[in-house]
Structure 1
Amino acid sequence: MQGRPIKQLTAYFPEKNEQEKVAKFLSSINEMLEGLQRKHDKLVTLKKAMLQKMFPQPGGTTPEIRFKGFSAPWDTIAMEKLGQTYSGLFGKSKGDFGRGDGYFVTYMGVFNHTVSNLNVTDAIGVDPSQNEVRKGDVLFTISSETPHEVGMSSVWAGDAKNVYLNSFCFGFRPLPSLKSDFLAYVFRADEFRKRICLLAQGISRYNISKTKVMKIPVSIPDTDEQQKIGTYFRTLDELISQHATQLQKLQQIKSACLERMFV
C-alpha cells in the first residue's frame, strides 16, 4: 500500500514565538547530547591508550606510564604459576537451563564485562558436581567468531553461592596475593591480548587451548602498584558507565519530547 503524496499531507505549525521556543529547546538537548558524547568518547579513547601505556609491551619489564613512586621492573611469570584453572558446566542438556535455584555466568556476561556479577547470570539447578565460581576468579571465553575476540576475560566480583560457569568458558583462580582490580585489566591490556590472539585456531570459529593459555607470561608489579593501577582503571570504567547512562536518559527525554511536543 502506497502512502499519500506529499502535497496531500497536512502539516501543523504553531505561531512563530512557539516555533522559536521549541527549536531552542530541542537544540539545547542536542548540544547536551553532543557534549556528553564527546566526553564519553574521550574517556573510551583514554582507556584504550592507557591499556597500552600502563602495562609493559611484550618483551619489556616496565610500562611507559607509571604512578609516582614506582620504578622497580615488573616480574614476568607464566599464568600456570599464578593460579589454577577449572572448567565450565558439563553434562547439561537444553532443558536444564533457565530454571533452578543456582546461577551460571553467561558467555556474553564474560565477553562484555571487565568485571561481572549476578547481573550477567541465568538460572540453573544447584549441582554440587560442578565447579563453583568464587569471588576474585578470572573467567575466560574459549571460543569466538574472530581471532581478535577470543580469550576475553572478566573478574567475578560476586560472592553468592551455587554460581557456575557456562561451558564455552573456563575459570582461573589466582593466588591470593594478586589484586582483583589489577587482574581485571592486565588480561585486557595489549600485551596479554596480543599473546592470546596468537593462540586462536579455527576457520569459521576460533578456539583457544586452556593449557596453552596457562603458558602465557604475564607482567606483574608489586601489590601496591597493582592496587593503584586497578583503582585507576576501575574509576575510568565508572566514569564511562556514568556518561553512557546519562546519554541514554537524555536520548529518552529527547524522544519523549519529539513525541509529545508535535501534533
Structure 2
Amino acid sequence: MKQQHILQPKLRFPEFEGDWNETKLKEITSLITKGTTPKSFYNQGINFVKLESLDGFNIDKRKFVYIDSETHENELKRSQLKVNDILFAIAGATVGKVAYVKQEILPANTNQALAIIRLKENVNHNYILQILSSRQMKNYIYMNMSVGAQPNISLEQLNNFYYKSPSLPEQQKIADYLSTVDNKINLLEEKKAQLALYKKAMMQKLFSQEIRFKDNNGNDFPDWESFQLKDILLEHKEKNKGYKYTEVVSVAKEKGVINQIEHLGRSYSAENIEHYKVVNPFDVVYTKSPTSGFPFGIIKQNKLNRSAVLSPLYAVFKPKTIYLGMLLHDLFLSEVETFNYLIPLVQKGAKNTMNINNEDFLNGKKYKLPTSEKEQQKIANFLSAIDENIEKVNEQITQTQSFKKAMLQQMFV
C-alpha cells in the first residue's frame, strides 16, 4: 500500500480529512477466480448464475439455470459461491457489471463470464461494491479491455486494478450513504416490476373477456369477434419521396419506435433515404429482425405522434383504428405470444434463413377482439394509464441513478 499526495475527493463528509491511500484489488482479496460452463443444465438443482441474472447490485433468481450436485461439488468446485462474494462481469457486452451474493441464492455456481471476487474479512464489502461500479473502474476497463469475438478483461487485469480509499470509518460512511440511494433505486425498481405484473394480469383478464367494460350508459358492448391481422391492418408502402421526412427511427424491443440517434448514439441510415418507408403516428411496424427473446422479430406501434422514416426492410401497416393498433402493440409485448403467432408463418429460405413475408404475416391465427371502437378505446386508455405510471416510476429511477452517478464522481478520488 503506497501513500499518495493530494488524494482527496471534491465532496467529503466534514468530520474527515487527509489524503486517501491507493490500493491494489489483489491486496484486499483472498480469491479472484472464475467458473466454467458445465456440460449440462437441468430444470432444477443447484442455482447457476449467468451474466443475464445480474440486475443492478442484485441477482435475479428468475433467470437462473441449474446444474446437478455432482458437477457443483467436483467439476465446478473452484467456482462455488459464498455469502458476500462479489460477481464482476469480465466478458461480453456488459463488462464491469457487478452484483453481490446473498445467502438466499446459495448454493450456487457461475461460469467464465463472471469473476468471483472474495474479499478479506477486514474489508468493507459495500464500499468495494461502489468502487467496482465507479467511473474509475469504467475508465480502467476502457483502457485495458481486449476486443475480440467479445469484449473482455482478464483476471490478472482485475487483480491489478488500483483504487483509492480513505480510512475504514470514512469508507463506512460513504458506503452507508450510497447504500441508502441504492435502496431507493431498488424500491423504485420493485414498484416498476409490480406495475408491469399488474398490467400483465389485467391484459390476461381483458383479452380473455373475464373483465368487460360497459358503455357510458352502463350497457354491454357488442360481442367480440375473431379477426386475422389482415382484417384490421392495411400495409402501406409509402416511400420518402423528395425527402419529405428527415428523422430516421429504429424499432426497439423495450422502447418501441424511437429516434435512431437517441437509441443507438448515431445514425446508421443510408446516405440517401428517399427509398426508406414512411411510418405515420399509430402505424404498426413488423421488423422481422431477430432480437433477444424475439427470434422472428418484434411488432410495435408508432407512439411518437409524428411521422418519420425507417428501414425499407420493415413492414408498415395502418390499423383499422388507432386503438386496435394499441391493443396489438400490447398483445405482442409478450415473447411467448409473439413467438406462437409467428412460428407457424416461418418459411425456411436459402442457407437455412428464416423468413416471413408481409402477406403471410397478416394471415396468421385469429384473435378475438372488440368490435366497438368505444370499447377498444376504453381498453387502450386503461392500459395506457398503467404505462404512464410505469414511465413515471422509470423517470424517477433514471433521476436517482443520475444523482448517484454524480455522487460517485464527487465522493471518490
**Residues 1:213 and 2:361 aligned together:** yes
Structure 2 residues not aligned, in runs of 5+: 1-23, 29-162
Structure 1 position 5, deviation (Å)? 6.6
**Equivalent-residue separation in structure 2 for 1:177 and 1:13 (angstroms):** 61
Higher helix residue share: 1
CA contact (8 A) 1:181 1:231 kept: no
Q: Which residue of the partner structure matches residue 33 of structure 1?
A: 185
Aligned to 1:185: 330
Letter in 1 for 2:343: C
The letter of the residue matching 2:367 is V
Answer with 1 or 2: which has the greater Rg.
Answer: 2
Aligned to 1:76: 226
Question: Given the two structures, how large is their TM-score scaled by the length of structure 1?
Answer: 0.70
1:96 maps to what in 2?
none
CA contact (8 A) 2:227 2:368 kept: yes
State the distance in 2 between where 1:153 and 1:117 align: 17
8 Å Cα contact 1:146-1:205 kept in structure 2: no
TM-score, normalised to structure 2's length?
A: 0.48
Aligned ranges 1:1-263 → 2 under 5 Å? 6=27, 11-13=165-167, 22-56=174-208, 63-67=209-213, 70=220, 72-87=222-237, 102-106=246-250, 109-114=251-256, 116=258, 122=267, 125=272, 127=274, 131-144=277-290, 148-158=294-304, 160=306, 163-176=308-321, 179-188=324-333, 194-202=340-348, 206-216=354-364, 217-221=366-370, 222-262=372-412
Q: Percent identity?
A: 25
1:225 match: secondary structure: helix
The answer to whether the 8 Å contact 1:114/1:155 transfers is yes
Report if aligned partners of 1:140, 1:154 keep a CA contact under 8 Å in 2.
yes
Structure 1 Cα separation of the partners of residues 284 and 405 of structure 2: 40
> Residue by residue, what CA displacement relative to the aligned partner does 1:58-81 show, whole Å, maximum 9, x if unpaired?
xxxxx2333355564311122222
Gap change, CA 1:54 and 1:206, over 3 Å in 2: farther
Which structure would you say has the larger RCO, counting Cα contacts within 8 Å and 6 or more residues apart? Answer: 1
Q: How far is 1:36 from its partner?
A: 0.9
Q: Matched residue pairs, number?
A: 241
Rate the CA distance shift 1:133–1:115 in 2: closer, same or farther, 3 A: closer
CA distance in 2, matches of 1:115, 1:4: 43
1:184-209 CA distance string (max 9 Å, x none) = 32444665652223323458753322
Distance (Å, rounded) in 2 between the aligned partners of 1:204 and 1:145: 18
* Separation in structure 2 between the aligned mates of residue 78 and residue 214 of structure 1, nearest angstrom: 7
